[in-house]
Amino acid sequence: MEWGAVSSEGKKVSTVLESRSQRTLSPYDGVIMGADMGGSYGSTLRYKSVERIKPIGKQTLLGVSGEISDFQEILHYLDELIIYDHIWDDGNFLGPKELHNYLNRVMYNRRNKSNPLWNSLVYLGMVGMIGTYYEDNHVVTGFGNHLTRPIMRAEWREDLTFEEAVKILEKCLFVLLYRDRSAINKFQIYKITEEGVTISEPYALKTFWGFSAFQNPTKGAEGSW
């Protein structure tokens, strides 16, 4: 990844802070989302406790991958919306469908001005940097599309319990940990049901690196490193 660079119009054209895949599953009575907690600055793993998922109001979770500063700006926009709602004091509040529409339009309109929010957002569905969006029973950003979507397609069922859904999510996070160089072994799982939002403590998955092929990596190719 490049350093933050400024184009002739004075806008930032390259990403500075990037964090990768995170995913969400919808079991029978709620939604769970999982993400790793790493924030990279190019190839440097700069931050190790980044919370990439935030609860919005009482009914939604918003997860993000991509430019962290743009995520913070989105949270700022959402705060404004919620405060504006609150001061009407008429009992109405923003639900997931309203949020869905708002975020979609924000991403698409920034793309129209050639000044995108360099993020992929995950909430009721997924919306990408240029405004492409979709809803499904399981949603993923970044590398997850290639590595974990097949796992979720094979294992997701209508009647998953929370524990089963977490197992599938952990399997996916595991694959990403092994294969995505910007993932770190520190995860959080967020759960949202009618009762509210539950956030797990950061935890690590058990990895195994003792494969015999790793013992002497240059055995088959003398002189390489």
Secondary structure (DSSP) of 55-116: EETTTEEEEEEEEHHHHHHHHHHHHHHHHHHHHH-SS----HHHHHHHHHHHHHHHHHTT--
Our finding on whether 69 is near another protein (CB under 8 A) is no
Q: What is the dihedral of CA 172, 126, 72, 91, to 10 degrees?
A: -120
Closest CB to another protein among residues 123, 187 = 123
Shortest Cβ 181–another protein spacing (Å): 19
For the question of residue 193 being annotated catalytic, the response is no
Q: Which is nearer to another protein, 57 or 131 (CB)?
A: 131
Q: Does 130 bind another protein (CB under 8 A)?
A: yes
Query: Does 59 sit near another protein (CB under 8 A)?
Result: no
Question: Residue 108 CB, nearest distance to another protein (Å)?
Answer: 5
**Least separation in angstroms between CB 33 and another protein:** 17
Is the backbone of residue 11 left (phi > 0), alpha (psi -120 to 50) or beta?
beta
Determine if 66 is a binding residue for another protein (CB under 8 A): no
Alpha-carbon distance 181 to 130, whole Å?
A: 25
Catalytic residues: 24
